[in-house]
Amino acid sequence: MENIRDSVGLGLRKGFTPFLSALHKIGVTPNAVTVAGTILNMGVGVLVVFDHLIYAGILILAAGLFDMLDGSLARLTKKVTPFGAFLDSSLDRVSEGVILAGIAYFLAIPGDRRGAIDAGLVVLALLGSILVSYTRARAESLGVECKSGIMTRPERIILVAIGLFFNVLPYVIYIMLALTMFTVVQRIVHTYRELGKKREQGGSVER
CATH number for position 150: 1.20.120.1760
pLDDT number for residue 148: 85
Domain-embedded: residue 33: yes
pLDDT number for residue 114: 85
Rg (CA), the chain: 18
pLDDT number for residue 17: 82
Domain-embedded: residue 80: yes
Domain-embedded: residue 205: no
* Polymer length in residues for the chain: 207
169 is in which domain, residue-wise?
2-200
Q: What is the count of structural domains for the chain? A: 1
Distance (Å, whole) CA 178 – CA 185: 11
Axis crossing angle, helix 82-108 with helix 113-141, rounded to the nearest 10: 170
Domain-embedded: residue 84: yes
pTM: 0.87
Helix ranges (H only) for the chain are: 2-15, 17-25, 30-49, 53-76, 82-108, 113-141, 153-165, 169-200
Q: Which residues of the chain have pLDDT under 50?
A: none
Domain-embedded: residue 14: yes
Domain-embedded: residue 18: yes
Domain-embedded: residue 148: yes
pLDDT number for residue 92: 94
pLDDT number for residue 104: 95
134 vs 75, 76, 140, CA distance in Å?
24, 27, 10
pLDDT number for residue 83: 94
pLDDT number for residue 15: 77
pLDDT number for residue 12: 64
- Using a CB cutoff of 8 Å and minimum separation of 24, what contacts does 97-102 make? 97/126, 98/41, 98/42, 98/44, 98/45, 99/41, 99/44, 99/45, 99/48, 99/60, 99/160, 100/125, 100/126, 100/129, 101/45, 101/126, 102/44, 102/45, 102/46, 102/47, 102/48, 102/49, 102/56
